[in-house]
């Protein structure tokens, strides 16, 4: 699995993922699942949608995660 999420993209995904998880837990709904998926893409530096579209925001292409 090649890294395709990097830099600013990764930071924004982490912030948005955590925000959705916190909001969802406080609201008592199941949107935390989406937040967890977004946060996971930041942690693992891999986005399946980016892979399917052939997009990469990782500057160091070719680095395996």
| pLDDT average, residue stretch 5-11 | 94
User: Is position 1 within any domain?
Assistant: no
Candidates 14, 7, 64; CA nearest to 37 is 14
Q: Is residue 62 part of a domain?
A: no
Does the pLDDT value for residue 65 go beyond 70? Answer: no
The whole-number average pLDDT for the span 24-28 is: 97
Domain range for residue 46? Answer: 7-53
Reported as a pLDDT band with limits 50, 70 and 90, residue 61 is low
Residue 16 lies in a domain: yes
Angle between helices 7-27 and 32-44 (to 10 degrees): 160
Kindly report the pTM of this predicted structure: 0.85
| 29 belongs to a structural domain | yes
According to the model, what pLDDT value does residue 62 have? 52
The verdict on residue 60 lying in a domain is: no
Whether residue 37 lies inside any domain: the answer is yes
The total domain count for the chain is 1
Say if 63 falls within a structural domain: no
Residue 2 within a domain? no
What percent of the chain stands above pLDDT 70?
92
């Amino acid at each position: 699995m090649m890294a395709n999420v990097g830099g600013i993209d990764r930071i924004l995904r982490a912030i948005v993922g955590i925000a959705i998880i916190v909001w969802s837990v406080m609201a008592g709904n199941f949107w935390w699942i989406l937040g967890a998926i977004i946060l996971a893409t930041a942690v693992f530096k891999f986005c399946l949608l980016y892979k399917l579209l052939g997009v990469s925001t990782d500057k160091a292409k070719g680095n395996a995660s």
